[in-house]
Amino acid sequence: MYFTQRELAAVALTGGDNYSVYLHREAGKWSMDVSVLDSGKDVKQKYSVQTNRGGPKTWRHLDQALSFAYEHCSNCQNMRVAVDGKILILRPEEG
């Protein structure tokens, strides 16, 4: 299943802890999956982000994918990035 940028923005409005973002490299390009979480914070449904024309949204460089994620999911409380077999978990700064 896929999300458009507009649907992603709607999910982000529901609250930063109601979804998670996962950036990963696939076939030499970065792609983004978004999981909608239920009230117990378990994955309810998983979506891939797509372009407005219908194809999967991909980026050539990680910094471009991160920039998109921060632009469209700035309130996300659970973001993960898969790099060389390791998962980096990005959380908001406590302060």
One-character DSSP codes across 15-80: -TTSEEEEEEEETTEEEEEEEEE-TTS-EEEEEEEB-TTSSBPEESSHHHHHHHHHHH-TT-S-EE
- pLDDT greater at residue 68 or residue 93: 68
Contact partners, residue 27, CB within 8 Å, separation at least 6: none
Is the separation of the CB atoms in 14 and 20 below 8 Å? no
**pTM (2 decimals)?**
0.88
Mean pLDDT of the chain, nearest integer: 90
Q: In degrees rounded to 5, what are phi and psi of residue 11?
A: -65, -40
pLDDT-based confidence at residue 95 (cuts at 50, 70, 90):
low
Which DSSP state fits 85?
Answer: T
State the average pLDDT over residues 67-76. 90
